[in-house]
Structure 1
Amino acid sequence: MGTGVVIKDHNGDCVAACCNSFSNVIIPELAEAMAVRFALSFAQDEGLDNLILASDCLSVVQSAKASTRDRPLCGPVLEDIKSLMASFNSCSIRHVYRGQNVAAHCLARSSDDSSLSIWRGVSPVFRIQFVLTLCLDDE
């Protein structure tokens, strides 16, 4: 599974981005929950204190907002998400359609099996442009 994170400022400019991969994750909802947890950890590592997180997985967004515990499979990851969200001064999560999440999706698709890639202060345009054709061909 690949994870892509794009952090934008209030003007919509990319301030940081990263991609990473995790092995042996085959259940889509669990993969999406792990991606959200990874994004929150990355934002925390970047020293952000106020954020709006966007995900194209409606079930994970709804579960992260719910006050009840989730199903056993995703439950521990969702509890981590809720705990991480509470650690920020201001943090909300919202659902976006996949078309609004293309950059993160392409970064996730481009992640390799061995390393974490991080870009700060510049958009990883070179990587997104390279992979964008592959992403569009699949849809």
Structure 2
Amino acid sequence: MHREVKQQNSNRPEGRTAVATSNQVWQPPEWPMFKVNVDAAFDKSLNRMGMGIIVRDSEGKIQACLTAPKEWVFSAAQAERAALQRAMFMCFEMGMHQVIFEGDAKVVIDAINSKEMDSSWHGQETEDLQQWMAAHPFWRLFFVYRSANQAAHAAAKEAIKDSCENFG
């Protein structure tokens, strides 16, 4: 989170800092879109993550929910990319063509939306997600503050304790 705020602030004029608005609330998508909220929880001491994925329709009704743990994860950014990749694959499996993805990992979302090559150690993961987005022209990816991503965040925190993927 600190890196996200630092990155966000680096694009601002001297002396201005970003203030996380905690009053942003979740809004349903317009019909016929689906909104998919994604989040990851990361435990550095265990190199383990949990992911929470919530799919809602234009009336705000939950259409699907997925929680899953994952081992051998070494950074919060890697966890966020893994959660987003699973969300995209889930939407593909469900035949969803008009999707708005929302997450609170600004650095990850900005990297995917930038369309620029990522030469970092895990750059291939970013490029894979960019390709998923390019292959689905009616999919959109947006950053939201955690206050608008609470359900996915709570699901991710619980998923880190799970032993297997749960879908409902």
Matches within 5 A, 1:1-139: 1-111=49-159, 112-119=161-168
Could you tell me how far 1:53 is from its partner in structure 2? Answer: 0.3
> Which stretch has the larger CA shift, 22-31 or 81-90?
81-90
> Which stretch has the larger CA shift, 86-95 or 99-108?
86-95
**CA offsets per residue over residues 72-123 of structure 1, 9 Å max, x none?**
223111111111122324011000001111111111111144211001xxxx
Task: Please provide the CA RMSD for this pair.
Answer: 1.3
Q: Return the index of the structure with the highest Cα Rg.
A: 2
Q: How many residues align?
A: 119
Normalised TM-score (structure 1):
0.80
Normalised TM-score (structure 2):
0.67
Query: Is the 1:22–1:113 contact (alpha carbons within 8 Å) kept by the matching residues of 2?
Result: no
Stretches (4+) displaced over 3 A: none
Higher percent of residues as helix: 1
Identity across the alignment (%): 26
Relative contact order: is structure 1 or structure 2 higher (C-alpha 8 Å, sep ≥ 6)? 1
Structure 2's unaligned 5+ residue stretches are 1-48
